[in-house]
C-alpha cells in the first residue's frame, strides 16, 4: 500500500516536469485527474461485479470502459495531446476519444476471449484462472444470457469454482462457443475496430498510420 502511495506521488512529480508552460500543465493535470478518478471508480465497480451474480453485460462493459479503455488508451492519448505544443483543438480530442474508447474496449474483449480460449504458451497465463476467479466478463455474461438452461447451469456452477479442472473448463468453453456468445463478441470486436479506424480517417500521417497499427496490435493478437 505504501509503495503504491509513493508511486502515486512520484507520478505527480514526473508529470510536473512535462512542460514549462502553465496553461499546458493545467490541461495535462486535468486529464491526469480524470484518468485517476476513472480507474479508481472502475476498480471499485469491478470489485462489486466480481461478487454480483445479478450482473449484466452493461455492468461489465462499464468496467471495461473505465478500467481498460479510458485508463489504457483514451486518457493516455489525451494526456499526450494535452502536452503537445499544438494540441490540435477539439477536433483531435474528439478523434482520440472515439478511437481510444473503441480500441480500448476491443482490447478488453480480446482479453476476455484469450482468457478463456487463448493458448497459455502464447498468453503466458492459464485458461483456468478467469473461470476459477469467477470473472464476469462481457463474454461470460453474454454466454449466460444466450446459453440453454443446462448450459447456464453449468456455467454458473463452474464460475468461481477453485477446483475447476481442464475438462470442466472445456465444457465451459463449449457452452460459450455453442451459445453464439463467442461469435457475437468477435463481431462486436470487429465493429469497434472498424469504428476506431473510421475515427482516425481524417488524421494526418504519421499519426493515422501509427494509430492504425496500434489498433491492430491491440485487437488482432494471440497473446
Segment interacting with its own copies, rule: CB under 8 A, options 6-14, 70-78, 108-116, 155-163: 6-14
214's CB contacts (< 8 A; 6+ apart) are 103
Task: Give the nearer residue to its own copies in terms of CB position, either 26 or 153.
Answer: 26
The least distance separating its own copies from the CB of residue 213, rounded to whole angstroms, comes to: 32
CB 117 within 8 A of CB 173: yes
d(CA 128, CA 163): 10
Task: Give the nearer residue to its own copies in terms of CB position, either 20 or 86.
Answer: 20
Segment interacting with its own copies, rule: CB under 8 A, options 12-20, 78-86, 114-122, 208-216: 12-20
The least distance separating its own copies from the CB of residue 7, rounded to whole angstroms, comes to: 10
The least distance separating its own copies from the CB of residue 43, rounded to whole angstroms, comes to: 6
The least distance separating its own copies from the CB of residue 176, rounded to whole angstroms, comes to: 31
Q: Which of 156, 162, 221, 168 shows the shortest CA–CA distance to 193?
A: 221
CB 219 within 8 A of CB 103: yes
Using the structure block, give the residue that is written with the C-alpha cell 508552460: 21
d(CA 75, CA 125): 27
Using the rule CB under 8 A, which residue among 12, 58, 166, 174 binds its own copies?
12
CB 113 within 8 A of CB 139: yes
Residue 1 is a binding residue for its own copies (CB under 8 A): yes
Residue 13 is a binding residue for its own copies (CB under 8 A): yes
Residue 19 is a binding residue for its own copies (CB under 8 A): no
Segment interacting with its own copies, rule: CB under 8 A, options 18-26, 49-57, 112-120, 192-200: 18-26
Return the residues of window 33-92 that contact its own copies according to CB under 8 A: 33, 36-37, 40, 43-44, 47
DSSP code per residue over 124-176:
SS-SSHHHHHT---HHHHHHHHHS-HHHHHHHHHHTT-TT--HHHHHHHHHHH
Residues that bind its own copies (CB under 8 A): 1-2, 4-6, 8-9, 12-13, 16, 22, 25-26, 29, 33, 36-37, 40, 43-44, 47
Amino acid at each position: 500500500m505504501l509503495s503504491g502511495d509513493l508511486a502515486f506521488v512520484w507520478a505527480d512529480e514526473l508529470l510536473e516536469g512535462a512542460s514549462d508552460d502553465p496553461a499546458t500543465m493545467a490541461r495535462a493535470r486535468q486529464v491526469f485527474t480524470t484518468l485517476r478518478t476513472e480507474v479508481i471508480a472502475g476498480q471499485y465497480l469491478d470489485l462489486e461485479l466480481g461478487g454480483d451474480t445479478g450482473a449484466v453485460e452493461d455492468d461489465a462493459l462499464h468496467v471495461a470502459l473505465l478500467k481498460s479503455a479510458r485508463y489504457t488508451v483514451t486518457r493516455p492519448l489525451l494526456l499526450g495531446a494535452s502536452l503537445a505544443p499544438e494540441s490540435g483543438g477539439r477536433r483531435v480530442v474528439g478523434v482520440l476519444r472515439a478511437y481510444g474508447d473503441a480500441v480500448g474496449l476491443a482490447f478488453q474483449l480480446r482479453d476476455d476471449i484469450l482468457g478463456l480460449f487463448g493458448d497459455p504458451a502464447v498468453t503466458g497465463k492459464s485458461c483456468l484462472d478467469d473461470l476459477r476467479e469467477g470473472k464476469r466478463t462481457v463474454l461470460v455474461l453474454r454466454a449466460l444470457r444466450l446459453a440453454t438452461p443446462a448450459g447456464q447451469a453449468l456455467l454458473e456452477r463452474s464460475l468461481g469454482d477453485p477446483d475447476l479442472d481442464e475438462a470442466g473448463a472445456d465444457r465451459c468453453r463449449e457452452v460459450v462457443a455453442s451459445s453464439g456468445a463467442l461469435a457475437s463478441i468477435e463481431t462486436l470486436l470487429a465493429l469497434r475496430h472498424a469504428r476506431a479506424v473510421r475515427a482516425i480517417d481524417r488524421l494526418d500521417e504519421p499519426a493515422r498510420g501509427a494509430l492504425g497499427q496500434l489498433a491492430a496490435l491491440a485487437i488482432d493478437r494471440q497473446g
